[in-house]
Structure 1
Amino acid sequence: MSLDIAKNVIEGNPTKTFFIEMITRDISIRDAILDLLDNSIDGASKINPHNYEGLFVEIIIDKDKFIVKDNCGGFSLETAKKYAFRFGRPDDAPDTHGSVGRFGIGMKRALFKIGKYFEVESKHTEDHFQVSVDVNTWRHKKKSITTNEITTEVEDWDFSYEDITIESSNLEENGTYIEVSQLYDEVSELFNDNEFLTSLRGDIERLLNFSLEKGIRITLNGEELSGKNIQIFNDESTPYMAEGVKDKVRYKVIGGLGVVGDPSKSGWYIYCNDRLVLEADKSEITGWGTSGIPKWHIDHVMFRGIVFLDSDETINLPLTTTKKGIDATSDIYKFVHFFMREAMGNIMPFFKLVTKLGNEANPYRELLGETENKISVVEMKSTDLVIAPRKFVAPVVDQEAIATKKESVRISYDVKKDWANVARTHSKSKSLKELGETTFEYYIKMESLNE
């Protein structure tokens, strides 16, 4: 029996209009910009995963244009042809090696979201080229395909590139230059709004704080941004820690105490390949208010929980497509969630003990914040924090110290770490706190002798 196959096929091809107008709705302008910055951070990580000193990302935003420029290595023409400008990641794509890009749509979706014309220039050790796209022209671009002597017109999804010479380049070093113009009206209005720029600055400082702490320099309209560092006590109090590998994901769960400060800083922080995807979470998704764990209360204001999830292949991570949340149904998150609950269970008795201090509770919390040595989020990831794994050691509730606090002040200053360690060894101080007390007592003794 003869069968005309073509008559029995239902086309399931996507359309460019759907991609330009619909998929871009799933992401905000701020998230689109962060997607582009993630590409720069991925480039920095390939240069040196441990230290970003000397690398920069410059962002320029106004009502007429959007520019991102970096010196983070750029990408090759082969990468552009096979992956960077493809709509979705091919099955044969290599591992992303610790990036946060996952589905292969981030850069294109961001560019289409912002404006109707864009240029992407990449200077790499192997190539130097530029892709220029007029979105309206590209949207209607067709190509002819001939099958069985029948020629049909289909949508042409391809992009063209041109080689760049030094004279026409926007880049002095290996890196990437992206410029979007002919902005959509609503985007142009946003980019002309100081409130939006302030909000964007805050998002970058929070969500990319790990990269900022590693030393990368990010500027927004010429103003340098700073990381919103997260710290945990690591002295008399030692944090809970569990770490290992599960389903090709390296995990590290840390639970401990931080300064009282702003209650909005309390909660769980989850990083996927160094990108903050959940910040100061106090909801059921991180265990609060679930079986055996109370709902977050102001009594828990000192709680700090950090989760690091890293994988060479990003698809293994429990990320959502917008990178602003966790897929709580994923097997790896369910596995790690056990340790998160265990950490909270370890720490809760300490909070109950502090609450029983009544009027002395706040002075005690403040005292801990002033006297405890603290470790930064970058140090947490690379340092063996605890003597006994999966055990939180609470600080001693010192009633005498609480009473003394009312009649004392804190003296604080920064010195080079190497000098401090030499001084601590020489003075036989057990901690930096003790070193500070020793040097002050030495000064007082010397002054007394001079009277």
Structure 2
Amino acid sequence: MKNSKIDAAPTREFIINTITKDIRIQAAIFDLIDNSIKAAEFITHYNKLDKFFVSLEFDNSQFQISDNCGGISRKKVLGGALKIGSSLDYKSGHGIGLKRAFLKFGKIITITSNRSDYSCKMIIDVDKWGMKNDWDLYVTKVEYNENIFQGLTINIRNLYNEISRKFSDFKFKKELIEEISMKYRYKLQCGFKIIVNKKYIEPSFIQGDKVAESPYKVIDGMNIKVILYNHVITKENGWDIVINGRVILHRDKSEKTLWSKKLIKSHYSYIRFVGEVLNE
């Protein structure tokens, strides 16, 4: 009996939806900001960041993020930095979370990397990308522009309807700025600049009475410091977990931080308590 071949390959839509469905819009933006910060840290060897910035501009028609954090090297561009599902660890920043983030927003994606040693441009048309199971990206080498910063620019047009609505919503913009201010407070304190629609973001630290602060101590190979606050201004209480200068958990009261009513002593109020754990 002759066997028949059936095309059981997943559709383009399924692949793209699977990549992006579980990520919040804010988290996708944070992925892109993290890429820029990591690239700047790689250049400076985790020293001063005051010469570096990332700028976000968006409205209901487009989203653009640009930085002066060195761009993507030729080795990483051609080596798979933009490959879907790449298992490579791009310690120099650009490439980590990049695909998932920009695919979340829209259908026409233009990526431009400006470097003195290698400058390039890529255009992704999501409606055509993956046709006939062709997932290759085509890179065009361009002239280095010495009149602008060395860095990466990602421009996204033909936004999805949900994204377009969010990017034109005042409440979304306000909450995004507040979250960036809180999440990246230690990076902003180090001088790294984050600009949203031409507004420079200021760091937002815990405002309350500092009642205890431990010195740094190595625990299981991690450099840990704990700070306790009382009478905080905001009504939210819980734990803030900061890893490498980024707030990973904010006002957490879950099992992740062992917050439990069983541990709360009577006659003590934890309503305006915040604990901060720094892992450097």
TM-score (norm 1): 0.55
**1:298/1:35 Cα in 2 relative to 1: closer, same or farther (>3 Å)?**
farther
The Cα shift of 1:73 comes to 1.4
Contact 1:17 / 1:139 at 8 angstroms: preserved in 2?
no
Deviations 1:339-378 (A, max 9, x none): xxxxxxxxxxxxxxxxxxxxxxxxxxxxxxxxxxxxxxxx
How much does 1:64 deviate?
A: 0.9
Aligned residue for 2:50, secondary structure, equals coil
Q: For 1:113, which of 104, 107, 113 is the aligned residue?
A: 104
Which residue is 2:270 aligned to? 300
Query: Which residue pairs with 2:258 in the alignment?
Result: 287
2:129 and 2:90 map into 1 onto residues whose CA distance is 30
C-alpha separation between the residues in 2 aligned to 1:16 and 1:174? 33
- Judging by fraction of residues, say which structure has more helix: 1
Aligned to 1:217: 193
1:252 is aligned to 224
- State the alpha-carbon separation in 1 of the partners of residues 213 and 77 from structure 2: 44
Aligned to 2:35: 39
For residues 18-417 of structure 1, what are the structure 2 equivalents within 5 Å? 18-48=14-44, 49-90=46-87, 93-94=88-89, 96=91, 106-140=97-131, 142=132, 155-166=133-144, 172-230=148-206, 238-241=212-215, 243-244=217-218, 246=220, 250-258=222-230, 260-264=232-236, 266-289=237-260, 293-294=263-264, 299-301=269-271, 303-309=273-279
Shift of 1:80: 1.8
* RMSD over equivalenced CA pairs, Å: 3.1
Displacement of 1:242 after TM fit? 5.4
Higher strand proportion (structure 1 or 2):
2
Q: Which amino acid aligns with 1:227?
A: P
Whether contact under 8 Å (1:231, 1:258) holds in the other structure is no
| Structure 2: 5+ residue stretches without partners | none
SS of the residue 2:204 aligns to: coil
Flag the 1:37–1:260 CA change in 2: closer, same or farther, 3 A: closer
SS in 2 for 1:23: helix
Instruction: Tell me: CA distance 1:10–1:194, structure 2 relative to 1, closer, same or farther (3 Å).
Output: same
Asked if the contact 1:284–1:290 (Cα under 8 Å) also holds between the matched residues in 2, the reply is no
Alpha-carbon spacing, 1:308–1:260, altered in 2? closer, same or farther (3 Å): closer
Larger Rg: 1
Contact 1:69 1:178 in 2 (8 A): yes
1: CA distance between counterparts of 2:200 and 2:41? 20
**Deviation by residue 1:141-160 (Cα, 9 ceiling, x = unmatched):** x3xxxxxxxxxxxx122100
Q: Which amino acid aligns with 1:308?
A: L
Q: Which runs of 5+ in 1 are unaligned?
A: 1-6, 143-154, 311-451
1:238 to partner: Cα distance: 4.7
Whole-Å separation in 2 of the counterparts to 1:11 and 1:215? 53
1:206-263 superposed Cα distances (whole Å, 9 cap, x missing partner):
11222111111111111111111237877xx6523452263xx523131433553223
CA contact (8 A) 1:210 1:274 kept: yes
Q: TM-score, normalised by structure 2?
A: 0.85
Relative to structure 1, the CA distance from residue 213 to residue 18 in structure 2 (aligned partners, 3 Å threshold; closer, same or farther) is same
Number of residue-to-residue matches in the alignment:
276
The answer (yes or no) to whether the contact 1:239–1:257 under 8 Å persists in 2 is no
Confirm or deny: 8 A CA contact 1:255 1:303 kept in the other structure: no
